[in-house]
Amino acid sequence: MNTSQQQNSLSRIFPNNTVAITVESLLLISAGILAAILHQKLKMPLHLPGKQGILFLLIIISAARASRLPMAATIATTGTAMFFYLFAFDGADIFKPLLYLIVACGIDAVIYLHRYKAIGNISFVILSGAAWTLIPLLRIVISMATGLPFKSFLTGLAYPFATHLLFGAVASAIALYSLRLFRR
């Protein structure tokens, strides 16, 4: 009779650390693809720039914050970029996947600071929302460099920044506090 106690970790399922990291990376990429699919399927012309950030950032931040891998948001958004470029190419905004990757790098920096207690919860929410405002900022740079017009700037410059900040902050707050509920 075997009286040895079973391990209570995933090391029995994935005895090799490389396999565990690969599986976690694939799960993050799948979360990014899910975010992209929902982003495409739930498009509605509400004239609210950044509104897709609520659902998109909720998925990306939740997956990245739950992961133990560094740069988890960038890994997840790589799945989003692959999906957009391969299956849902939107000719109107060819820079969207690149913008999402840049935003993910900002979110990874915010998650790193929050994970090591350099910033609090309120700062995490505000800085994650500010990372989402990189999209209109970079669109201004792209528009000035290439001459491509973006519909979000038809109402002025302040409105896209304000809505991106609002939707990004709401999504990060929901992600942060929902993860706390699941960890209890």
Answer yes or no: is 40 within a domain: yes
Give residue 79's pLDDT.
94
In a domain, 63, yes or no: yes
Count Cβ atoms below 10 Å from residue 151 Cβ, excluding itself.
12
Average pLDDT score over residue span 83-100: 81
Q: Out of 9-13, 79-83, 110-114, 163-167, which region has the weakest mean confidence (pLDDT)? A: 9-13
**In terms of residue numbers, what domain contains 56?**
17-183
Q: Which amino acid is at 49?
A: P
Which tens digits make up the pLDDT trace of 22-77? 999 999 999 999 999 998 888 777 778 888 889 999 999 999 999 999 999 999 99
- 151 domain residue, yes or no: yes
> Which pLDDT tens digit goes with each residue over 6-32?
545 555 666 678 888 999 999 999 999
Task: Check residue 1 and give its pLDDT.
Answer: 55
Residues 6+ apart with CB under 8 A from 54: 167, 170, 171, 174
The domain that contains 101 carries what CATH number? 1.10.1760
For range 149-160, the mean pLDDT:
84
pTM of the model: 0.84
Give the count of domains, the chain: 1
Closest by CA to 99, choosing from 61, 135, 56, 146, is 135
pLDDT at 173 over 90: yes
Q: In this model, does residue 116 exceed pLDDT 70? A: yes
Whether 11 is covered by a domain: the verdict is no
Residue 33 lies in a domain: yes
Domain assignment present for 7:
no
130 phi and psi, to 5 degrees? -65, -35
CB atoms within 10 A of CB 127: 20
Mean pLDDT throughout 115-135? 94
Long-range contacts at 162-165 (CB < 8 A, ≥ 24 apart): 163/48, 163/49, 163/50, 163/51, 164/49, 164/50, 164/53, 164/129, 164/132, 164/133, 164/135, 164/136, 165/50, 165/129, 165/130, 165/132, 165/133
Q: Residue 3: inside a domain, yes or no?
A: no
Query: What is the separation of C-alpha 114 from the centre of its chain, rounded to a whole number of angstroms?
Result: 15
Q: In this prediction, what percent of the chain has a pLDDT beyond 90?
A: 58
pLDDT of residue 126: 96
What pLDDT does 52 receive? 86
Q: In the chain, count of helices (H) and strands (E)? A: 7, 0
Tokens 């840049």 appear where? 102
Domain presence at residue 122: yes
